[in-house]
Amino acid sequence: MTDERPPARRGRPPDLEARRRTLELATTVLKEGGYAGLTMDLLARRSGVSKKSLYRWWPNKAAVAAEALAAQAEVLPVDETGDSRAELLAIARNARRYATADELPLGFTAQLSIADQRALGRSYMEHVIRPRRLLSRDALDRVVARGDLPQDTDTDALLDLWSGFAVYRHNVRGVTITDHLVEQLVDMALSGSVPRLT
């Protein structure tokens, strides 16, 4: 008896590949023409994907834009090395890199309605900020477990301090965040200068 089953497909399923290509196209359109230049009609025409498929994947163009931008954002690892100072430096350097990445095109959010801004914010929080924080929190928990940070360290507050400092210094003041400064922040934490839960 012969096996009449079709041969197994290789590579990505067609829908996933088309979706990936459409996201890449959306990213290009956002960079070239901003949010105003992005339409579902344009995506369908240039990608060769039907509008029905586009709306099956995303409810509106704000959702497309949010996912396209999130896909470009880095979520950097914090490797477990057994060296607490090295891991804290990785967290603080990642915070600096995120703050200086300029992941949203200049003036992009100004082109969005309030509803679209909220949708973008939710997507960015889910796909970018939360994964970044989870990786950093896990690393901080390891450092606390080793006894190199106080047991009652408020790790959420420490992450907020480092991230907020980096964002304010870069985006508001326009001041370079040197590696020497990053090292000072880490050494302050290792000396016990951290927010506490109690």
CA distances in angstroms from 16 to 13, 43, 50, 71, listed in the order given: 5, 16, 14, 14
* Domain 14-70 in CATH 1.20.120: no
Model confidence over 173-196: pLDDT tens digits?
A: 999 999 999 999 999 999 999 999
Cα separation, 107 vs 104, whole angstroms: 8
Model confidence over 13-30: pLDDT tens digits?
A: 668 899 999 999 999 998
Model confidence over 50-85: pLDDT tens digits?
A: 999 999 999 888 889 888 888 888 899 999 999 999
What is the pTM for the complete model shown?
0.76
Higher pLDDT, 9 or 152: 152
Give the contacts of 27 (CB within 8 A, at least 6 positions apart): 68, 69, 71, 72
Average pLDDT, the chain: 87
DSSP three-state, residue 4: coil
Which pLDDT does position 191 carry in this prediction? 97
DSSP three-state, residue 153: strand
What percent of the chain shows pLDDT beyond 90?
A: 62
For residue 181, how many other CB atoms are within 10 A of its CB? 16
**pLDDT at residue 44 is higher than 90:** yes
Where exactly are the structural domains of the chain? 14-70, 74-190
The two structure tokens encoding residue 135? 């990786």
Cα separation, 18 vs 109, whole angstroms: 27
CATH topology of domain 74-190: Tetracycline Repressor; domain 2 (1.10.357)
Tell me the H-state helices in 1-50: 14-33, 40-47
